[in-house]
């Protein structure tokens, strides 16, 4: 396991949804900011990585959620680079309450791409060494998410402010679109229990995307689709206690 | 003038646009969070105000902008309730860089509404006393924004995650829609110099809104329109230095 890095965070009102709980897409943003802070401390900032002609992308998230943080709650966000192989780096995020009880965990998969060709690159030891994560031979295989048939869908425009400093659509937007394609009443009365999200292909500004979903009881399947498949997810939900 | 309240803030990557500068809609969010913190310190939190059957709404913003904060920049956000009369409270926000130089100012106008009737209420002295702002007789009159004719427009759906803990569309979304109705090339090469934004009527979930704009050189006029006028703005822009 790698070096652990922690930051405190207080949930502002504008990152909450109507229930007063923190929005899940925002949780990804905050998590990635914390890993960025660790990288800066370890002298492996995005600028450093870019100076080698490379950039990080997240390919996959696995979330297990006990409870979402609430408005004004002071939480602890812990992260560590757990292991890596030739192609992928694995990083865990743990969100804890003030007492140290776990609110949620995110297991994320990252790869490096060449900034010019946008093709995957091997992970150089010099980039990952300071994190002290374990080098492994095996590539983690996660469950395959089946292509959707007989889905419902909603269409979205990619907006100018969906793009961030990395010049592409902010990662969290895909989940925004997925959530929003579900009914208001379902969203207002249910909470995510587990989430498996795969990024397949970047969405570009100027395109319209279809957010497709299929629902079976407390399980939903999602696709973000433009001219091609951009992202997929499976979510297990539980009903809110009243 | 009232009691001043300050907080430090470090700009995270997910609040930046492609230029690496902080998004203006997000600046409103962060500003309002800081005024909320001051209210909590002064024992005038939103919960307290709600216990009196009232809630705050912002009716108007006037922004003067020298420079937007950048990614990772550590800034100081200062706020004070400057004055109030029977119907309105006036609050200023000043964003400063680390050296104390002013980046931007926001003059905001607030009123209280009855949570049940949604009608404006008089400002009770007991709510505003702790801020030590000056009681004045006059109501500030700002420039009237003319109704748009021969406008261009883009249509947007109100999304579930546009709603925040206050159960209504987050204030910053109106500006999101206004910006997004302009061309990519214009947004990527220009920066706001002054902004005058008026909230007229709340937008509700489930409605589609039209973001209308008209442009004349470095000035743009905006309307958010559903079945009625929801918000208006005038923005003066300047070209980015290259």
pLDDT value, residue B241: 83
Asked if B154's CB is within 8 angstroms of A160's CB, the reply is no
d(CA A7, CA A33): 10
pLDDT digits (tens, 9 = 90+) for A150-200: 999 999 999 999 998 878 899 999 999 999 999 999 999 999 999 999 999
pLDDT value, residue B204: 87
Mean pLDDT computed over A104-128:
94
Residue B116's alpha-carbon distances to B36, B50, B120, in angstroms, are 22, 11, 11
Mean pLDDT computed over B195-206:
93
Tokens 């990772």, residue? B72
- pLDDT > 90 in chain B, percent: 90
- Say which of B18, B23, B187 has its CB closest to residue A167: B18
pLDDT digits (tens, 9 = 90+) for B43-55: 999 999 999 999 9
pLDDT value, residue B1: 78
Mean pLDDT computed over A59-79:
97
pLDDT digits (tens, 9 = 90+) for B98-114: 999 999 999 999 999 99
- Say which of A13, A19, A161 has its CB closest to residue B36: A13
pLDDT band at residue A56 using 50, 70 and 90 as cut-offs? very high
Asked if B166's CB is within 8 angstroms of A160's CB, the reply is no
pLDDT digits (tens, 9 = 90+) for A40-51: 999 999 999 999
Under 8 Å between Cβ of B6 and B77: yes
The SS3 of residue A110 is strand
Q: Considering the entire predicted model, what is its pTM?
A: 0.93
d(CA B222, CA B177): 10
A63 to chain B, minimum CA–CA distance in Å?
A: 19
Under 8 Å between Cβ of A110 and A88: yes
- Please check the confidence at residue B153 and state whether its pLDDT lies above 90: yes
B32 touches chain A (CB under 8 A): yes
pLDDT band at residue A216 using 50, 70 and 90 as cut-offs? very high
pLDDT value, residue A167: 80
Instruction: Give the orientation angle of helix B24-41 with respect to helix B172-180, to 10 degrees.
Output: 170
First to last CA, chain A: 39
d(CA A222, CA A233): 5
Tokens 């559903």, residue? B226
Residue A117's alpha-carbon distances to A55, A120, A241, B99, in angstroms, are 11, 9, 49, 41
- Identify all chain B residues contacting A206, using CB atoms and an 8 Å cutoff: 184
């Amino acid at each position: 396991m790698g070096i652990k890095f922690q930051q405190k965070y207080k949930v502002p009102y504008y990152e909450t949804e109507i229930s007063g709980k923190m929005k899940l897409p925002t949780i990804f943003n905050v998590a990635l900011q914390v890993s960025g802070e660790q990288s800066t401390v370890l002298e492996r900032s995005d600028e450093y990585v870019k100076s080698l002609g490379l950039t990080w992308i997240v390919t996959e998230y696995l979330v297990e959620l006990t409870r979402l943080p609430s408005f004004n709650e002071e939480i602890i966000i812990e992260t560590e680079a757990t292991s890596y192989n030739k192609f992928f780096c694995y990083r865990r995020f743990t969100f804890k309450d003030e007492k140290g009880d776990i609110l949620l965990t995110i297991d994320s998969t990252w790869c490096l791409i060449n900034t010019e060709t946008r093709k995957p690159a091997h992970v150089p030891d010099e980039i990952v060494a300071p994190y002290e994560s374990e080098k492994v031979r095996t590539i983690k295989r996660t469950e395959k998410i089946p292509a959707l048939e007989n889905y419902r869908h909603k269409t979205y425009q990619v907006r100018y402010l969906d793009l961030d400093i990395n010049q592409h659509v902010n990662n969290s937007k895909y989940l925004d679109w997925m959530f929003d394609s579900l009914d208001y009443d379902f969203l207002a009365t249910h909470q995510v229990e587990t989430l498996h999200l795969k990024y397949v292909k970047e969405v570009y500004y100027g395109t319209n995307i279809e957010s497709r979903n299929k629902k079976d009881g407390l399980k939903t399947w999602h696709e973000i689709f433009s001219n091609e498949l951009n992202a997929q997810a499976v979510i297990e939900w539980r009903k809110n206690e009243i």
